[in-house]
Structure 1
């Protein structure tokens, strides 16, 4: 079985050999696969490619994918991994206090990952490609664009910002939240919606069992302590 994902610390960590090497979400998914004794192939790709391949191929999985109303009918949702909240993160804190109601926030040049939920969210409130919305193929690349001054801000969640900052070896708090549109979403493990019913139900049932037994929460707590603690 093929599982598609991307490199986005602290949720999924991909090493220099392009192999999954850990991460909060990855360890949870690995535990589920082990309990079901499934033969798996983890495939890290740029997010837009991972998303497309999961949609095209039955009995494949993708993680960590934000569940939103726009995506609800596009996947079979197996289990929640983590809730995250999204912010505009900027290097120059002098642009703090932007006001969406007065459209000042749309004066910012913002980078997101192509095909990501962040892209969907910003386009819904009026951001336009190549005007005030720009794309990168990965989260580390997006953050590098902000650090190099090519854009004013990155739109991302708090856990990814911390994880990627540490991955890039950045000074603490060099990227700070400058605005939020108060958007929170749940990250999930999801399957191609045309997968067999038996396949989906087997995954859901075992994942729900892991949740009831506090296995998921325990793994997440342990991985957060290991990856994000000072």
Structure 2
């Protein structure tokens, strides 16, 4: 009877929190959010997370009244942590059918084109996606949605890297034939390599993708709903568009 009474009280508390739109994290708890080196959307600056995605997510947390920390880590580490750890999140995360049931989604925050790039003057002809499976090496960031798409298409020539920067570096040095990264990464990443972005030629669009804040399945429902509501208010009052003008001028929010 005591156990049944306790479960009833927990259920009532959850309902009350949902009705009041109050995030239900235990006292002293906070969300731990992860992102990656993915400029200009996310990157570390003076030891802190910066970029468009970080600015959007920080404002979501502020409006929702949720305590959260943001850590910049290798994507694969953050991805695997959020799959198994309650009260965690990962951004910006492409929402794909393969990932749909693995996370609680808040967004979209960003829209990108997943592209195959080659090196100017030395690139294979890519008329259909299957042509890219025939090259010697294709570099792709580990556990990205593009890796999952290419693996599902039967690719056996993938060379996994930690960041888009490493992928483009290998392409620049001629150590891989192709890279698979998002279009928003190209100019900033080429600048980090001190290389003109025109060296890298877009050869094939793999997918258009919408990227979200992906919260762990163990995140309480009221927290998820509070985050979604906060993003909607940001769209309605122009804050999201304002952040885009700062970080991606000329690009409209999704």
Q: Does TM, scored on the shorter chain, surpass 0.5?
A: yes
Q: Secondary structure at the match of 2:199?
A: coil
CA distance in 1, matches of 2:153, 2:179: 16
Distance in 2 separating the partners of 1:49 and 1:150: 25
Quick check: 1:211 aligned with 2:211? no
How far 1:94 moved relative to its partner?
Answer: 4.3
Show the counterpart of 1:148: 173
1:134 aligns with 2:142: no
Contact kept? 1:5, 1:47, Cα under 8 Å: yes
Q: Provide the C-alpha distance between the structure 2 equivalents of 1:68 and 1:104, rounded to a whole number of angstroms.
A: 23
Q: Does the 8 Å CA contact 1:93/1:178 hold for their aligned counterparts?
A: no
CA contact (8 A) 1:9 1:167 kept: no
1:96 CA displacement = 5.2
Residue 100 (1) aligns with residue 133 (2): no
Query: How far 1:172 sits from its partner (Å)?
Result: 3.2
Q: Alignment length, in residue pairs? A: 219
Computing the radius of gyration from Cα coordinates, the structure with the larger value is 2
The answer (yes or no) to whether the contact 1:28–1:220 under 8 Å persists in 2 is no
Partner residue in 2 for 1:19: 48
Distance in structure 1 (CA, Å) of the matches to 2:192 and 2:32: 26
State the Cα deviation string for residues 53-87 of structure 1 (Å, max 9, x = none). Answer: 11122121110100111111110001111111111
- Could you say if the C-alpha distance between residues 188 and 152 of structure 1 is closer, same or farther in structure 2, counting changes exceeding 3 Å? same
Aligned equivalent of 1:2: 32
RMSD: 1.8
1:174-196 per-residue CA deviation (whole Å, 9 max, x = no partner) reads: 11112223x10101112002211
Distance in 1, matches of 2:138 and 2:115, equals 11
Distance in 1 separating the partners of 2:236 and 2:151: 37
| Correspondence for 1:113 | 141
Unaligned runs of 5+ in 2: 1-30
TM-score (norm 2): 0.80
Work out the CA distance in 2 between the residues paired with 1:172 and 1:56: 38
1:76 is matched with which residue? 104
Secondary structure of the 1:95 match is: coil
Shift of 1:93: 4.0
Distance (Å, rounded) in 1 between the aligned partners of 2:205 and 2:121 = 14
The equivalences for 1:35-114 within 5 A come to 35-95=63-123, 97-100=125-128, 103-108=130-135, 109-114=137-142
Structure 1 segments unaligned to the other structure (5+ residues):
none
The 8 Å contact of residues 115 and 203 in structure 2, kept in 1 or not, is answered as yes
How far is the alpha carbon of 1:2 from its aligned partner? 0.9
